[in-house]
Amino acid sequence: ELIMFLHSRINRVGKPYMLPPELKDEMKRDLDNEKVLTEAAKDIIAHCGSDGSSLRVKVENLSPNAAGQYSNDLIIINHLDNTGYAKTMAVLIHECMHHYLRHRGIILQDTASNEYLTDIATLYMGFGDYINRGYVMAGYIKRHEIRYIKKRISKLR
C-alpha cells in the first residue's frame, strides 16, 4: 500500500501547510506571475524540509489534458488550464511533490502508479486542504479517496 510505502521512506507526516499571505495575495492578483509561482514552489518544498533553490516555475500553453508538468527542476503550469487560485495551487503542489520525491529517490516505474503516489504524497506532507479545494478537478485521486487517505495518514501522526 502506497501510504505505508511513503511512510517507510519519509517517516515524517507533514504538518498542515499554509501559503504565506503575501504570496497568496500576489498569486490571486496574477496567476501567470512566474516569479511569485516560483517563490510559492520554493516555500512548498521548504515546508517538506527540502531545498527548492534550484526550482523554477514557468507558465506556458500545454496540451489541454495537462494541468502541469515537472522535469529537471522546472515546473510548467498550463496557461490554458490555469482557471483559478485553488486549482493553480493544487497543480503547483502536485508538481512540487514530483520534485520532492525525485530528489529523495522515491519514484515508481509505472507512470500511473507514480502519479497516484505523488498525489498521496501531497496529502502525506500536509497539503490536503489545498488538494481538496482545487485538485479534484484535475488530479489522479477522487474526492472520496482524499478523505480516506487523509484519515489513514492522520493515524500515522
Over the stretch 43-100, which tens digit does the pLDDT of each residue have? 999 999 999 999 999 999 888 778 899 999 999 999 877 679 999 999 999 999 999 9
Could you tell me which residues come within 8 angstroms of residue 135 by beta carbon, excluding any fewer than 6 positions away? 87, 90, 91, 93, 94, 119, 122, 141
Sign for the pseudo-dihedral over CA of 130, 133, 139, 140: positive
pLDDT per position as a tens digit, 46-59: 999 999 999 999 99
pTM of the model: 0.92
Q: Which amino acid is at 108?
A: L
